[in-house]
Structure 1
Amino acid sequence: MIGGGQLARMMIPAAIELGVDLRVLAEAEGMAAAIAADRVGDYTDTATVLAFAREVDVVTFDHEHVPQDVLRALVDAGVPVHPGPDALRFAQDKLVMRERLSELGLPVPDWARVQTTAELDDFIAGHGGTAVVKTPRGGYDGKGVRVVRRAAEVSEWFTTIAEDGGDGALLVEELVDFRRELAQLVARRPSGEVATWPLVETVQVGGVCSEVIAPAPRSAGRLADVAADVAITIAEGLGVTGVLAVELFETSDERILVNELAMRPHNSGHWSMDGSTTGQFEQHLRAVLDLPLGATGSRDEWSVMVNVLGGPAEGSLTDRYGEALAAHPTAKMHNYGKAPRPGRKIGHVTVSGDDLDAVVYEARAAAAFFQD
């Protein structure tokens, strides 16, 4: 696995249970997955990655930032790469992603490629005076995204992208009037089998996911069916292998629109580790190894995941285990092994049960023990 962050760390228990020897190429010493990192090196360096790949059967990732030339070199060397470079390029570049989703006839916000402030101002004027501007590469958790009323508010982005070797283009989209945000996870193996989890509702705070409710309330029937169809169409149309997260808007006029894609296990699927028959990390390993996929139904009527953001002002998460776990014995705590820092995801709590209000309360209360 390339990338030694929290997703690689959370893959370790699933790998142990499946009897899979998981090896990690970490970018730096002391990363979250240090327990499995037998090599530290630059994932942007072709020679380093090829040397790592000679010791494994399949390469996968915990982020989408490995350069295309490195990915192509792996494929040329005969290394199975999942997801492959042809699929990952749609997660690496939002403009390429929007173009492909539009070609597939999938529901997306109205959008445009803009290379000048004049083009951006024209789009803003044609969409009610407000628009969302995104950098095509590198943005996540609210980074590289701005709601603007004038092109001058992001004029420096045009210059920065051009200086970084791009064509200076930004992605601009309509500001969607949505009632809530949803996420649909799907897994696909190279031989074509697909499996979807229940549609979930995500709650964002400051552009960062704070809570996930599975399944999304009031989603049974047509909404869940449409979301699953959209995710499967994307997975098949883009040639995705492994886990794919499709982030969605449910609009005020009862449509769903595709917002973002993540070609890896995703924060919106962490609830499945405790709440589903097959968690997303086990499923990802099954998929990239082309093993039969597991059942994805919910173990309980409801599961709620609450992220621990920032963490305690002093000490570590483990310092608070005794009091927190005693007060909330139904809560499942997952520690990412990261140092506390304002706004940083350093862990999450999941609670499952039959009463949604009670489950939400328990999950929030348990997570609160780890935050100041």
Structure 2
Amino acid sequence: MDNRTGLPVVGMVGGGQLARMTHQAAIALGQSLRVLSEKADDSAALVAADVRIGTHTDLAALREFAKGCDAVTFDHEHVPTAHIAALAAEGVKIYPGAEAIVFAQDKQRMRERLAELGAPIPRWRPVTDTSDISDFVAEHGLSWPVVAKAVRGGYDGRGVWMVGGAEAAADLVGTGTPLIVEERVPLRRELAALVARSPFGQVAAYPVVETVQQDGICVEVLAPAPGLSEALAVQAQQLAIDLANALGVVGLLAVELFETEAGIFVNELAMRPHNSGHWTIEGARTSQFEQHLRAVLDYPMGETSLAAPAVVMANVLGGQPGGISIDERLHHLFAEDPGARVHLYGKQVRPGRKIGHVTVCGDDMTTVRARAVRAARWLQEGS
């Protein structure tokens, strides 16, 4: 508890843009988020008042960081499970707990647990030797390519490979990376269902969104998912709620989904604020960042309905060096489209790196999407 305000202190492990935007939500709740950041110039460390420098792999640093926190949470899934369990055993309220977050850290454990729960997932198997991928293809009568994934550590397209044949499979297995292999699902598009759950067990679900991927990176989010039937939307929301309850998630759970002719399949899980929910800052009655804080503090959940009929978030990626400054680009963008809402993360620009996002709200999805994409491209390219 903060003795100056009488309000709780939430600590977030990780100093990236998710912590930065969670800090912004904490301000409205009278709080200043405590951040464990590896560097003083990380995205959240540039704006939060209470920043501790340390690494998420250092148990001693985590223990020191947690002192005085009413709850501890994360802006990424890379904290060792054993460290989370150790802190919980010492009385730290840490969310999500080790028994839940392991299913976001370990893709093999996730697939095994989802199969036990009867959740819809692609056909898959663990990979232990060079023949496993070829045997998987033959066993299920699949065609190449198939999808290989690193069991741990992959994100934004990293740790995922399209394997086109037996020789490529042998080369990949030969790297020694622990892998699983999955069928390549004939998807129509990708969706995401975002829910939040409190320790009390209250759950709140956001409208299901469509996510648009480019080179393994989410570049657009469309809320609500255009043309999605009410029945399939309710199914996706209920699936996310059921998984949050079954896995014991506290905080946000993002369920990344494939939509196919046969229905929906679970692709990935994330247990933290998620790129597919950035649109909620302007586009929902309660942002995902405030909702995450409410959840870990066991506050009642906020309203999740849309603030406009159509909302689109477009990620701003780093462009090539040169051109007019980002400040000048903002001047021009705001003059051209005053309704575009820009969030820049304070990151050094590198080509392809997420450095911010733009959200546009309106009545017509086609128009709103064009504005958001145009704004993000302008901030990236300056043209």
Q: CA deviation at 1:311?
A: 3.8
Structure 2: distance between partners of 1:158 and 1:74: 35
Partner residue of 1:221 out of 197, 218, 230: 230
* Aligned residue type for 1:17: A
Partner residue of 2:57 out of 28, 37, 44: 44
SS of 2:43 mapped into structure 1: coil
Paired residues of 2:295 and 2:301 also in contact (CA < 8 A): yes
Give the aligned partner of residue 253 of structure 2: 244
Partner residue of 1:66 out of 79, 82, 88: 79
Q: So what's the TM-score if we normalise by structure 2?
A: 0.92
SS of 1:325 mapped into structure 2: helix
Give the aligned partner of residue 272 of structure 2: 264
Paired residues of 2:320 and 2:351 also in contact (CA < 8 A): no
Partner residue of 1:289 out of 292, 297, 318: 297
1:148 aligned to 2:163?
yes
Kindly report which structure 2 residues correspond to 1:172-251, keeping only aligned pairs within 5 A, or say none: 172-251=181-260
SS of 1:340 mapped into structure 2: coil
1:111 aligned to 2:109?
no
Q: CA deviation at 1:20?
A: 2.0
Paired residues of 1:124 and 1:130 also in contact (CA < 8 A): no
Cα deviations across residues 109-164 of structure 1 (Å, max 9, x unaligned)? 00111201111111123312321000100000110101112344254554554xxx
Distance 1:198 1:49, change over 3 A: same
Paired residues of 2:359 and 2:372 also in contact (CA < 8 A): yes
Cα deviations across residues 211-236 of structure 1 (Å, max 9, x unaligned)? 01000011141110100011011101
Structure 2: distance between partners of 1:40 and 1:155: 42
Gaps of 5+ in 1: 162-167
Give the aligned partner of residue 18 of structure 2: 7
SS of 1:139 mapped into structure 2: coil
Give the aligned partner of residue 34 of structure 2: 23
Paired residues of 2:23 and 2:32 also in contact (CA < 8 A): no
Q: So what's the TM-score if we normalise by structure 1?
A: 0.95
How many pairs are equivalent? 365
Percent identical: 54
Cα deviations across residues 165-195 of structure 1 (Å, max 9, x unaligned)? xxx6411000000010000000000110001
Kindly report which structure 2 residues correspond to 1:154-173, keeping only aligned pairs within 5 A, or say none: 154-155=169-170, 157-158=172-173, 160-161=175-176, 169-173=178-182
Structure 2: distance between partners of 1:304 and 1:38: 32
Structure 2: distance between partners of 1:40 and 1:234: 34
Structure 2: distance between partners of 1:347 and 1:129: 36
Structure 2: distance between partners of 1:292 and 1:239: 17
Cα deviations across residues 335-361 of structure 1 (Å, max 9, x unaligned)? 011111111110000001111111111
Give the aligned partner of residue 299 of structure 1: 307
Give the aligned partner of residue 153 of structure 2: 138
Structure 2: distance between partners of 1:156 and 1:119: 13
Give the aligned partner of residue 325 of structure 1: 334
Higher mean alpha-carbon deviation, 120-129 vs 265-274, is at 120-129
Paired residues of 1:246 and 1:262 also in contact (CA < 8 A): yes
Query: Please, what is the CA RMSD of the aligned residues?
Result: 1.4
Give the aligned partner of residue 164 of structure 1: none
Paired residues of 2:133 and 2:169 also in contact (CA < 8 A): no
Distance 1:290 1:320, change over 3 A: same
Give the aligned partner of residue 136 of structure 2: 123
Gaps of 5+ in 2: 1-11
1:101 aligned to 2:114?
yes
Give the aligned partner of residue 334 of structure 1: 343
Q: CA deviation at 1:28?
A: 1.8
* Aligned residue type for 1:19: G
SS of 1:59 mapped into structure 2: strand
Paired residues of 2:212 and 2:220 also in contact (CA < 8 A): yes
Give the aligned partner of residue 8 of structure 2: none
Higher mean alpha-carbon deviation, 319-328 vs 45-54, is at 319-328
Structure 1: distance between partners of 2:93 and 2:160: 34
Structure 2: distance between partners of 1:181 and 1:288: 28
